[in-house]
């Protein structure tokens, strides 16, 4: 995949060095000149730059990586996790099939699971068809039906989240977008089967929450999970999309922020430079995380698991209350009238 990578602004110095390395290697072969020392120095410089840039990313830069057009998508991960063992399931029994929501049964290691994920599309045709990863109500109804099917057959559920949010169009609202999101959150809170949720790219607003309630919640290192996009937050607070980098910082939406706040349970590491630079390593890390979580959740009695899930989400957003003991009641004559 590396030859097709289009860089972000902050990646430019690295990509320029890598391009020079390729040019020198090609020239060395054609001209039969030993340039190994020069190439070695450039490789060392590129390695240093990678470490320096990617280990000090700002929240906004991580958002850009989460949206990278070459980043692996749900279909890539399903292919790596299940291969030919994946059987897709379609339809919501009400309106139509939504291509922005992928559902199906598969096998990860020795575990049979129900896989559900949001799909953005690989090219412009697919992206338009998938509404750029924004499911309609029928997509969420489809997901809910497959979750209940998983519960019926005692299949663990694995959701892979990569959406900027639920589709906000008039038609979607008329068909009950807000209602189905609320219903999904409610149903997932008490489904009697293990649920694992992973944010693999974008995790935006209610569109992500609708398939994001589970017993184990993980996130890829450069993914994000937020109540609103940085651009949306900037438009509300500063009336300008140009403030999106500042909004990304205050929203505390990165994987490390979410782990420190107790919202996610695990950060799944990505290769240096991001998931788009090495699909296989990222997918291997995801598979390892899923297998560990599946093994663990299978040891917990289902009633205890559902109770733990309930308590877990009740604790999210906890805060401390303090009282100012030195405050005295107002004794001014006529006060409070």
**What tokens were used for 16?**
């320029």
Phi-psi region of 207 (alpha: psi -120 to 50; beta: other; left: phi over 0): alpha
Q: What is the pLDDT of residue 289?
A: 97
Which has more pLDDT, 96 or 49? 96
Measure CA 70 to chain center.
15
Instruction: Return d(Cα 4, Cα 33) in angstroms, integer.
Output: 28
Question: What pLDDT is stored for residue 328 in this prediction?
Answer: 52
Q: Is the pLDDT of residue 4 over 60?
A: no
Q: How many helices (H) and strands (E) does the chain have?
A: 14, 8
Question: How far is the C-alpha of 10 from the C-alpha of 316, rounded, in Å?
Answer: 34
Query: Is 310 within the bounds of a domain?
Result: yes
Tell me: pLDDT of 10 over 90. Answer: no
Residue 335 inside a domain? The answer is no
Question: Is residue 326 situated within a structural domain?
Answer: no
- Assess whether 100 and 31 both reside in one domain: no
And the tokens for 53? Answer: 């840039």
Q: Are residues 206 and 308 in the same domain?
A: yes
Q: Mean pLDDT over residues 98-124, rounded?
A: 95
Based on the fold, state whether residues 93 and 15 are members of the same structural domain.
Answer: no
Q: Which pLDDT score, from 0 to 100, does residue 33 have?
A: 80
Is the pLDDT score of 200 beyond 50? yes
What value does the mean pLDDT of the chain take?
89
Rounded alpha-carbon distances, angstroms, from residue 32 to 19, 38, 78, 180: 19, 15, 44, 65
pLDDT given for residue 6 in this prediction? 61
3-state secondary structure of 217: strand
pLDDT digit string (tens) for 279-306?
999 999 999 999 999 999 999 999 999 9
CA 58/CA 8 separation, integer angstroms? 13
Q: How confident is the model at residue 54 (pLDDT cuts 50, 70, 90)?
A: confident
Residue 175 has pLDDT above 70, yes or no: yes
**What pLDDT, on a 0 to 100 scale, did the predictor assign at position 100?**
95
Arithmetic mean of pLDDT, 208-233: 95
Q: With cut-offs at 50, 70 and 90, classify the pLDDT of residue 3.
A: very low
Q: Is the pLDDT of residue 332 over 60?
A: no
CA angle 197, 255, 77 (to 5 degrees): 45
CATH code of the domain containing 232: 3.90.226.10
Domain count, the chain: 2
pLDDT confidence of residue 322: 56
Same domain flag for 119 and 174: yes
Q: What is the pLDDT of residue 15?
A: 80
Number of neighbouring beta carbons within 10 Å of residue 5: 17
Both 239 and 215 in a single domain? yes
Residue 333 lies in a domain: no
pLDDT value at residue 1: 39
Instruction: Count CB atoms within 10 A of the CB of residue 284.
Output: 13
Residue 323 lies in a domain: no
21 and 82 together in one domain: no
Instruction: Kindly give the residue spans of alpha helices, DSSP state H, lying in the chain.
Output: 12-31, 36-54, 59-66, 74-82, 124-129, 137-152, 170-174, 177-190, 205-209, 230-237, 244-250, 255-260, 279-297, 302-315
Tell me what pLDDT residue 24 has.
Answer: 83
Query: pLDDT grade, residue 42 (50/70/90)?
Result: confident
Tokens 């303090």 -> residue: 322
Q: Are residues 142 and 15 in the same domain?
A: no
In-domain check, residue 329: no
> Residue 325 above 60 pLDDT?
no
- Residue 323: which pLDDT band, with cuts at 50, 70 and 90? low
Euclidean distance between CA atoms 41 and 11, whole angstroms: 19
Average pLDDT of the segment spanning 134-157: 96
Q: Does any domain span residue 325?
A: no
99 and 151 part of one domain: yes
pLDDT at 153: 95
Angle, alpha carbons 309-107-187 (nearest 5°): 30
DSSP secondary structure letter of residue 41? H
Domain that holds residue 26: 7-56
- Mean pLDDT, to the nearest integer, of 199-227? 95
State whether 46 and 166 are in the same domain: no
Whether residues 255 and 124 fall in one domain: yes
The answer on pLDDT for 59 being more than 60 is yes
Mean pLDDT for 41-64 is 86
Are 227 and 276 in contact, with CB atoms under 8 Å apart?
no
pLDDT attached to residue 13: 79
Structure tokens at 273: 């430079």
Measured between alpha carbons, how far is residue 34 from residues 17, 22, 26, 31, 296 in Å? 19, 14, 11, 9, 54
pLDDT range class, residue 318, cuts 50, 70, 90: low
Rounded Cα gap, residues 58 and 38, in angstroms = 32
The domain boundary residue, chosen from 17, 33, 56: 56
Same domain, 98 and 146: yes
Q: Do 20 and 149 belong to one domain?
A: no
User: What's the Cα-to-Cα distance from 178 to each of 117, 133, 166, 199, rounded to whole Å?
Assistant: 19, 17, 9, 21
- Domain-located, residue 324: no
Q: Is the pLDDT of residue 98 over 50?
A: yes
């Amino acid at each position: 995949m590396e030859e097709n990578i289009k860089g972000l602004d902050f990646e430019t110095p690295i990509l320029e060095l890598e391009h020079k390395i390729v040019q020198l290697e090609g020239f060395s072969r054609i001209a039969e000149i030993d340039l190994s020392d020069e190439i070695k120095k450039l490789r060392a410089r590129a390695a240093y730059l990678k470490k320096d840039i990617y280990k000090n990313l700002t929240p906004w830069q991580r958002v850009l990586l989460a949206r990278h057009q070459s980043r692996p998508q749900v279909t890539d991960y399903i292919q790596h996790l299940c291969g030919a063992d994946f059987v897709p399931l379609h339809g919501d029994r009400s309106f139509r099939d939504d291509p922005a929501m992928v559902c199906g049964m598969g096998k990860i290691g020795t575990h049979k699971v129900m896989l559900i994920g949001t799909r953005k599309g690989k090219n412009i045709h697919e992206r338009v068809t998938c509404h750029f990863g924004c499911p309609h109500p029928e997509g969420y109804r489809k997901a809910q039906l497959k979750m209940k099917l998983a519960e019926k057959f005692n299949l663990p559920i694995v959701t892979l989240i990569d959406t900027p949010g639920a589709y906000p169009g008039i038609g979607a609202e008329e068909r009950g977008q807000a209602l189905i999101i609320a219903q999904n959150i409610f149903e997932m809170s008490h489904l009697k089967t293990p649920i694992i949720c992973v944010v693999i790219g974008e995790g935006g607003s209610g569109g992500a929450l609708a398939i994001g309630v589970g017993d184990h919640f993980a996130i890829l290192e450069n993914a994000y999970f937020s109540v609103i996009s940085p651009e949306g937050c900037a438009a509300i607070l500063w009336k300008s999309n140009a403030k999106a980098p500042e909004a990304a910082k205050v929203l505390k939406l990165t994987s490390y922020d979410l782990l420190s706040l107790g919202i996610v349970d695990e950060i799944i590491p990505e290769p240096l430079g991001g998931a788009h630079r090495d699909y296989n390593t990222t997918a291997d890390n995801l598979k390892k995380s899923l297998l560990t979580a599946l093994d663990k959740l299978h040891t917990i009695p289902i009633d205890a698991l559902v109770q733990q899930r309930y308590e877990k989400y009740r604790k999210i957003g906890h805060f401390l209350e303090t009282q100012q003991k030195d405050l005295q009641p107002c004794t001014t004559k006529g006060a409070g009238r």
